[in-house]
């Protein structure tokens, strides 16, 4: 227990003030816990367990979990930034990388706001048209998905580096290192299992189904390891579920 409670560098003390300690807690909760969890939800729970897809479409549980989780990340980040601005002597490695992470967060918020219209049978325009950036997979929507996904995964990697650099600069106790590394390991194991189960379902199909008549189903899904199913696959899975 003494070893677990001791700082990572036992030759030096772990001494941080009120502002630094709460800065660390808010940023750890935001980027170490909530952000990767929100990404996991968005990637693997577009179709929920037990959902009769594609008869039941556009389940927005993943969407709410993702934007609410990342919204909490943004609020906690601003809170943590405000705490540290008044006491920081200089950015250092941790601070410099942290500001890069803030820039990524800002880009993600902007592209999310200006991602374009949805459209489709589930969200028609007031005039009854089903045209929309997402439904038609316009150039604007395609660019949004590439930027949002690439920058999102880059932010996760950068956040992990920033957190570890911060723990080192603060000479954090070993239990903190063990806790966050165990949490990340658990998320990665869960992601590997869900990926193997084919749960990374294409957003477009999760919303509108596999009908090739939908324009987005006639182009490749965006991102790595995304599952896309044909109507034949759906019938096979349904027959297996019913023992046929």
Under DSSP, the state recorded for 242 is T
Higher pLDDT, 117 or 17: 117
Of 110 and 238, more confident: 110
CB 205 within 8 A of CB 217: yes
Distance between CA atoms of residues 29 and 200, nearest Å: 25
Domains and CATH numbers, the chain: 2-197 (1.20.120)
pLDDT at 11 over 80: no
What pLDDT score was predicted for residue 237? 59
Average pLDDT over residues 125-135: 90
- Cα pseudo-dihedral 201, 205, 208, 211, rounded to 10: -140
Please write the tens of the pLDDT for every residue from 158-205.
999 999 999 998 899 999 999 999 999 999 999 999 999 999 999 999
- The pLDDT tens digits of the residues spanning 23-81 come to 999 999 999 999 999 999 999 999 999 999 999 999 999 999 999 999 999 999 999 99
Measure Cα distances from 69 to 33, 40, 190, 210, 211 in Å.
Answer: 10, 11, 18, 28, 31
Which pLDDT band, with edges at 50, 70 and 90, does 86 fall under? confident
CA pair distance 187, 185, nearest whole angstrom = 5
Number of CB atoms found within 10 A of residue 72's CB: 16
Q: Taking all residues of the chain, what is their mean pLDDT, rounded to a whole number? A: 91
| Residues 6+ positions from 132 with CB-CB distance below 8 Å | 116, 117, 118, 119, 120, 123, 125
């Amino acid at each position: 227990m003494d070893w677990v409670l001791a700082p990572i560098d036992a030759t030096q003390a772990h001494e941080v003030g009120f502002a630094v300690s709460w800065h660390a807690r808010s940023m750890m909760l935001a980027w170490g816990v909530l952000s990767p969890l929100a990404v996991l939800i968005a990637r693997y729970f577009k179709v929920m367990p037990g959902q009769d897809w594609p008869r039941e479409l556009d389940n927005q549980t993943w969407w709410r979990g993702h934007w609410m989780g990342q919204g909490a990340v943004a609020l906690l980040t601003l809170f943590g930034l405000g705490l540290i601005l008044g006491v920081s002597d200089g950015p250092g490695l941790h601070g410099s990388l942290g500001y890069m992470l803030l820039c990524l967060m800002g880009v993600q918020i902007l592209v999310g706001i200006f991602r374009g219209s949805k459209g489709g049978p589930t969200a028609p325009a007031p005039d009854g048209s089903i045209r929309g950036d997402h439904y038609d997979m316009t150039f604007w929507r395609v660019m949004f998905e590439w930027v949002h996904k690439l920058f999102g995964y880059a932010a996760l990697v950068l956040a992990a580096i920033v957190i570890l650099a911060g723990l080192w600069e603060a000479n954090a106790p070993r239990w903190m290192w063990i806790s966050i590394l165990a949490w990340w390991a658990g998320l990665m194991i869960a992601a590997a299992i869900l990926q193997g189960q084919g749960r990374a379902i294409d957003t477009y199909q999760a919303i509108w189904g596999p009908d090739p008549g939908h324009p987005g189903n006639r182009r490749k899904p965006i991102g790595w390891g995304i599952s896309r199913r044909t109507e034949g696959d759906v019938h096979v899975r349904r027959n297996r579920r019913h023992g046929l």
